[in-house]
C-alpha cells in the first residue's frame, strides 16, 4: 500500500461544515432496477444541445446513440436501457427556476438489451492522444463533479497549453454528498485505470489523486490498489476537510500552491482537474466500451427513510430512486438536487436523474436563517471567501447596480460557494444577490454586443444604399451623354418610334 | 530685451504648431461626444425618437436639439446613463416598450419586398415574389417593417 502525502499549498478562507456523510455510507452502492420510463434531456452538459437522431416509435438498445452533439461544445446522449422511443418533448428538469427542457422519452421493455459491439477492443496505450480524445467525445463523457463540461473538449483545450499536472478530484467537500467516497471505496481500480488513460491522453507523468481526510476508507482502498498496480506516477494526496476545497481552482491552489488567474482556467497554470467519477466513466468507455449511461448518486437527508448511494441509469425518474431508498419520511419537506450549498430546489420528483446529479437531498425543514438585517460591515464574509473577494463591498455595489465597480471588485470570479451567507450575522443572502448581479452583468454585455452588431449592419446598409445611388446616377449620366452624342436626329427617331407604338396600342 | 521677444515668439510658434496639428489629428470634441452618446444607444435604428437612426439622434442630443428621454427601446437605464454622461437632469421616459422581434406569417407573405427594404439592419431576407423571413438574431424589434406590409402579415413577438 502506498501512503498518502500531505505537503500542500494554502487556501484562503473556507469553512468546516457538519459532514452528514455517515448516514449514506453505511451500506454498499445499490443498483437501481430498470425503470418503466427513461427521460433523457438532450442538454446534459455545458454547451449546445445535442440533436436527437431517433424517431418516435423506434426501438432502441442500451448504449445506442440517440442524440448527436451539434456545434463546437457538446456531448452525445446514449440510451441507458432498451425500449421504444415514445416522445421527444419538453419535460420538467432540474433548473434553478423550474421549467422544462426538450427530452427523449423511452418506454423500457425491461430486457435491458445492449447494442452488439463489433469493434475489437483497442489498447489505449497504442492510440494517439487526438484519437483517444475523439473517442472520449463519442462516449458522452462529461465532468461528473457537477459542472458537466464535456471532457473531450476540456482535454483538447488543455492540450493547447503546457500541462504538467493531472489532479483527480476526490474532494467531496459539500455536506451530505458521498457518491465519490463510495465510488472510490468500491471502484478504486477503475478510478486509477481512468487516471492512467487520462495521463496517456495528456502525455504527462504526474497525477495527484486528491482525497479529503474524512474519507479514510477510500484512502485505504486507493492506497491498496496503487500498491498493486505499482504506478509511481500517481501520488495519493490527503487534504483537510474544508469547504469549498473541492472547487476546481481551489483544489489547484491547495495541492500545487498555484493560483489560477482571474477569468482563467487551471490549464493556465499547468493543471487539469477531473472528477474521480469521470475517471471511472472513462475507464468504462475506453476499456469496457460502455458509454456514460449510469452514475452513482447519493440519496440522503432526514426526509428519506434509509439514506444510501445508488447506481442509476441516466434518465431514471428521481421518484423511483427515492422509492429504492425506502421512500419519504413524514418530515420530508424540500427536495434539493445537488448539495445543500450549491444544489437546486425542485418542486416535483418527476424530474430525471441526469449526468450532473450527484446528490438527491430530501430535507425536513426549509432552513430559515432569520430576518435579513442591514450590513454592519463586520468583514466576516471577506475572511471566509475562498477567492479573497470582499463580499461586503460587492453587496454594496450590487445594491447600487454599479456594474463597473462590481467588475472591478471581481464579482465575476465569485464561485457562488455560499460561505459568506453562512457566516453573515445579518443573514444577508449574499450569494443569491451575487448570482442575480452576475446574470445582470452578462445580460448587459449581451445587449452591448447585440447593439454593436446592429450598428455594423445599419452602417453597412447605409453604405450600400449610398453606393447604389451613386452607381445609378453615374449610369443615368452615361446614358444621357451617349444620347447627346448620337445627335438630335437619333432622339427624334426614338420619339417617333414611341409615338407609333402608342398609336398602335390605342 | 531682444532675447525675451525671441523666446516668447518661439514659444508661441511651437505652441501654435502643436495646437494646429492636434486639431487636425484628433477628432473634434463634438464628434467625440456624439460617438460616446451613440455608444450608449441600443442601435435598434427604430426612429421612434423622430430621427432617422441612432447616430442622428445622438448628434441632435449633443447639439441640444433633442431631449435625452426620447429613446423607448433604451429604457430608463439609457436615460440615466445619458444624463450622467452629459451632466443633464434625468427625465422620465416618454414611453416604454417591451423588447420584441418581428415575425412574418410565412403563409400570408406575398413577397412584395416592402418590409425587406424598410429593415434598417438587413434582418429580412427573401426575393421578389418569394416568401420573406426575419433573421431573428439580427432583428432589433424596431417595428419599421410592420407598417409597409400590404397584407399585414408581420407581427411583433415579445422576447421573454
Q: What pLDDT, on the 0 to 100 scale, is given for residue A477? A: 92
Mean pLDDT of A108-119: 85
Contact assignment for B45 to A447 by CB distance below 8 Å: no
A387 band by pLDDT with thresholds 50, 70 and 90:
very high
Chain A interface, best mutation among B121, B125, B134, by max A CB count within 10 A: B121
Mean pLDDT of B56-74: 90
Contact assignment for A461 to B120 by CB distance below 8 Å: yes
- Is domain A368-506 in CATH 3.30.310, yes or no? no
Alpha-carbon distance B31 to nearest alpha carbon in chain A (angstroms): 17
Q: What pLDDT, on the 0 to 100 scale, is given for residue B27? A: 59
pLDDT tens per residue, range A400-425: 888 889 999 999 999 999 999 999 99
Please give the ipTM for the structure prediction: 0.78
Which chain A residue's Cα is nearest to B118? A461
pLDDT tens per residue, range A464-492: 999 999 999 999 999 888 878 877 777 78
Which chain A residue's Cα is nearest to B142? A454
Overall CATH class of domain A22-324: alpha beta
Alpha-carbon distance B78 to nearest alpha carbon in chain A (angstroms): 12
Judged by a CB distance cut-off of 8 A, whether residue B78 touches chain A is no
Alpha-carbon distance A453 to nearest alpha carbon in chain B (angstroms): 8
Helix orientation angle between B75-86 and B29-40, rounded to the nearest 10 degrees: 160
Share of chain A above pLDDT 90, in %: 63
Contacts of B54 in chain A (CB under 8 A): 455, 458
Q: Which residue has the cell 483497442?
A: A122
pLDDT tens per residue, range A259-301: 999 989 999 999 999 999 999 999 999 998 899 999 999 999 9
Rounded-to-integer distance, Cα B29 and Cα B15, Å: 19
B95 band by pLDDT with thresholds 50, 70 and 90:
confident
Which chain B residue's Cα is nearest to A462? B120
Domain with CATH 3.30.70.20 in chain B: 98-160
Mean pLDDT of A49-77: 91
Q: What pLDDT, on the 0 to 100 scale, is given for residue A2? A: 64
Contacts of A455 in chain B (CB under 8 A): 38, 43, 54
Rounded-to-integer distance, Cα A159 and Cα A161, Å: 5
Q: What pLDDT, on the 0 to 100 scale, is given for residue B87? A: 86
Rounded-to-integer distance, Cα A492 and Cα A480, Å: 15
Does the pLDDT value for residue B29 go beyond 80? Answer: no
**pTM of the shown model:** 0.79
Higher pLDDT pick, A1 / A102:
A102
Q: Which residue has the cell 430486457?
A: A111
CA dihedral A224, A227, A232, A234 (to 10 degrees): -10
A506 band by pLDDT with thresholds 50, 70 and 90:
low
Alpha-carbon distance B43 to nearest alpha carbon in chain A (angstroms): 5
Contact assignment for B43 to A461 by CB distance below 8 Å: no
Contacts of B121 in chain A (CB under 8 A): 454, 457-458, 461
A1 band by pLDDT with thresholds 50, 70 and 90:
low
Distances (CA, A) of B85 to B35, B40, B55, B56, B78: 12, 9, 16, 18, 10
B28 band by pLDDT with thresholds 50, 70 and 90:
low
Q: What pLDDT, on the 0 to 100 scale, is given for residue A96? A: 62
Average pLDDT, rounded, for chain A: 90
Does the pLDDT value for residue B128 go beyond 80? Answer: yes
Contacts of B53 in chain A (CB under 8 A): 458
Average pLDDT, rounded, for chain B: 89
Contacts of A450 in chain B (CB under 8 A): 43, 140
Domain boundaries, chain A: 22-324, 368-506
Contacts of A447 in chain B (CB under 8 A): 42
pLDDT tens per residue, range A191-206: 999 999 999 999 999 9
Higher pLDDT pick, A146 / A59:
A59
Mean pLDDT of A74-95: 91
Q: Which three cell numbers stand for residue B104?
A: 412574418
Judged by a CB distance cut-off of 8 A, whether residue B71 touches chain A is no
Q: Are B75 and B93 in contact (CB under 8 A)?
A: yes
Judged by a CB distance cut-off of 8 A, whether residue B138 touches chain A is yes
Rg (Cα) of chain B, in Å, rounded? 24
Q: What pLDDT, on the 0 to 100 scale, is given for residue B25? A: 75
Q: What pLDDT, on the 0 to 100 scale, is given for residue A29? A: 94
Which chain B residue's Cα is nearest to A465? B117
Contacts of residue A14, Cβ cutoff 8 Å, sequence gap at least 6: A242, A243, A244, A245, A250, A384, A386, A419
Contacts of A451 in chain B (CB under 8 A): 41-43
Contacts of A460 in chain B (CB under 8 A): 122
**A172: nearest Cα among A335, A46, A41, A339:** A339
Tell me which of 3.30.379.10, 3.30.300.30, 3.90.79.10, 3.30.70.20 is the CATH number of domain B98-160.
Answer: 3.30.70.20
Total H helices, total E strands in chain B: 5, 4
pLDDT tens per residue, range A204-258: 999 999 999 999 999 999 999 999 998 889 999 999 999 898 899 999 999 998 9
A97 band by pLDDT with thresholds 50, 70 and 90:
low
Judged by a CB distance cut-off of 8 A, whether residue B53 touches chain A is yes
Of B43, B122, B123, the CB nearest to A451: B43
Domain with CATH 1.10.15.40 in chain B: 26-97
Alpha-carbon distance A245 to nearest alpha carbon in chain B (angstroms): 38
Q: What pLDDT, on the 0 to 100 scale, is given for residue A404? A: 87
Contact assignment for A460 to B122 by CB distance below 8 Å: yes
pLDDT tens per residue, range A10-54: 888 889 888 889 889 999 999 999 999 999 999 888 888 899 999
Chain A interface, best mutation among B43, B53, B140, by max A CB count within 10 A: B43
3-state SS assignment for residue A448: helix
Q: In this structure, how many other beta carbons lie within 10 angstroms of the beta carbon of residue B125?
A: 14
* Chain A / chain B CB contacts < 8 angstroms: 32
A141 band by pLDDT with thresholds 50, 70 and 90:
very high
Q: Tell me which CATH code domain B26-97 carries.
A: 1.10.15.40
Does the pLDDT value for residue B66 go beyond 80? Answer: yes
A307 band by pLDDT with thresholds 50, 70 and 90:
very high
Amino acid at each position: 500500500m502506498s501512503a498518502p502525502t500531505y505537503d500542500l499549498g494554502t487556501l484562503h478562507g473556507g469553512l468546516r461544515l457538519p459532514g452528514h456523510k455517515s448516514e449514506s455510507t453505511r451500506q454498499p452502492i445499490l443498483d437501481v432496477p430498470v425503470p418503466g420510463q427513461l427521460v433523457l434531456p438532450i442538454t446534459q452538459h455545458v454547451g449546445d444541445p445535442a440533436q436527437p437522431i431517433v424517431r418516435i416509435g423506434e426501438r432502441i438498445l442500451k448504449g445506442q446513440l440517440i442524440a448527436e452533439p451539434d456545434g463546437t461544445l457538446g456531448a452525445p446522449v446514449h440510451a441507458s436501457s432498451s425500449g421504444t422511443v415514445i416522445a421527444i418533448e419538453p419535460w420538467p428538469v432540474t433548473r434553478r427556476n423550474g421549467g422544462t427542457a426538450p427530452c427523449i422519452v423511452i418506454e423500457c421493455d425491461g430486457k435491458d438489451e445492449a447494442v452488439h459491439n463489433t469493434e475489437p477492443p483497442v489498447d489505449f496505450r497504442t492510440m494517439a492522444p487526438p484519437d483517444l480524445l475523439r473517442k472520449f467525445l463519442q462516449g458522452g463523457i462529461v465532468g461528473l463533479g457537477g459542472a458537466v463540461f464535456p471532457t473531450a473538449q476540456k482535454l483538447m483545450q488543455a492540450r493547447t497549453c503546457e500541462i504538467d499536472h493531472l489532479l483527480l478530484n476526490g474532494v467531496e467537500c459539500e455536506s451530505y454528498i458521498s457518491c465519490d467516497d463510495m465510488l472510490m471505496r468500491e471502484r478504486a481500480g477503475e478510478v486509477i485505470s481512468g487516471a492512467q488513460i487520462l495521463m496517456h491522453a495528456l502525455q504527462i507523468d504526474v497525477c495527484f489523486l486528491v482525497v479529503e481526510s474524512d474519507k479514510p476508507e477510500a484512502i485505504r482502498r486507493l492506497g491498496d490498489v496503487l500498491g498493486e498496480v505499482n504506478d509511481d506516477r500517481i501520488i495519493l494526496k490527503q487534504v483537510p476537510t474544508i469547504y469549498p476545497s473541492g472547487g476546481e481552482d481551489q483544489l489547484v491552489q491547495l495541492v500545487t500552491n498555484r493560483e489560477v488567474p482571474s477569468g482563467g482556467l487551471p490549464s493556465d497554470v499547468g493543471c487539469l482537474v477531473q472528477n474521480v467519477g469521470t475517471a471511472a466513466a472513462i475507464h468504462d468507455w475506453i476499456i469496457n466500451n460502455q458509454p456514460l449511461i449510469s452514475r452513482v448518486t447519493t440519496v440522503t437527508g432526514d426526509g428519506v427513510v434509509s439514506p444510501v448511494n445508488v447506481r442509476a441509469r441516466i434518465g431514471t425518474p428521481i421518484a423511483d430512486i427515492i422509492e429504492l431508498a425506502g421512500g419519504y419520511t413524514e418530515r420530508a419537506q424540500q427536495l434539493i438536487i445537488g448539495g445543500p450549498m450549491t444544489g437546486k430546489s425542485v418542486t416535483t420528483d418527476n424530474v430525471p436523474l441526469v449526468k450532473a446529479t450527484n446528490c438527491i437531498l430530501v430535507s425536513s425543514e426549509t432552513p430559515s436563517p432569520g430576518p435579513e438585517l442591514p450590513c454592519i460591515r463586520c468583514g466576516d464574509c471577506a475572511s471566509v471567501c475562498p477567492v479573497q473577494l470582499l463580499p461586503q463591498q460587492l453587496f454594496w455595489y450590487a445594491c447600487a447596480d454599479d456594474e463597473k465597480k462590481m467588475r472591478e471588485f471581481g464579482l465575476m470570479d465569485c464561485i457562488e460557494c455560499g460561505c459568506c451567507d453562512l457566516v453573515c450575522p445579518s443573514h444577508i443572502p449574499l450569494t443569491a444577490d451575487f448570482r442575480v448581479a452576475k446574470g445582470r452583468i452578462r445580460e448587459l454585455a449581451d445587449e452591448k454586443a447585440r447593439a454593436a452588431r446592429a450598428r455594423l449592419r445599419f452602417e453597412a446598409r447605409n453604405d450600400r444604399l449610398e453606393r447604389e445611388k451613386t452607381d445609378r446616377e453615374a449610369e443615368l449620366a452615361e446614358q444621357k451623354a451617349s444620347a447627346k452624342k448620337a445627335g438630335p436626329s437619333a432622339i427624334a427617331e426614338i420619339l417617333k418610334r414611341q409615338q407609333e407604338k402608342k398609336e398602335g396600342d390605342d | 530685451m531682444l532675447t525675451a521677444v525671441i523666446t516668447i515668439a518661439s514659444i508661441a510658434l511651437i505652441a501654435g504648431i502643436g495646437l494646429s496639428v492636434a486639431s487636425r489629428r484628433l477628432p473634434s470634441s463634438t464628434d467625440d461626444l456624439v460617438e460616446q452618446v451613440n455608444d450608449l444607444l441600443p442601435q435598434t435604428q427604430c426612429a421612434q425618437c423622430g430621427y432617422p437612426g441612432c447616430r442622428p439622434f445622438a448628434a441632435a442630443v449633443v447639439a441640444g436639439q433633442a431631449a435625452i428621454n426620447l429613446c423607448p427601446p433604451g429604457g430608463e437605464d439609457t436615460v440615466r446613463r445619458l444624463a450622467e454622461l452629459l451632466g443633464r437632469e434625468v427625465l422620465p421616459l416618454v414611453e416604454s416598450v417591451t423588447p420584441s422581434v418581428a415575425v412574418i406569417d410565412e403563409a400570408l407573405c406575398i413577397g412584395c419586398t416592402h418590409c425587406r427594404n424598410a429593415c434598417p439592419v438587413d434582418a429580412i431576407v427573401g426575393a421578389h415574389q418569394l416568401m420573406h423571413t426575419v433573421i431573428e438574431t439580427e432583428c432589433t424589434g424596431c417595428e419599421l417593417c410592420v407598417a409597409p406590409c400590404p397584407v399585414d402579415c408581420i407581427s411583433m413577438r415579445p422576447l421573454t
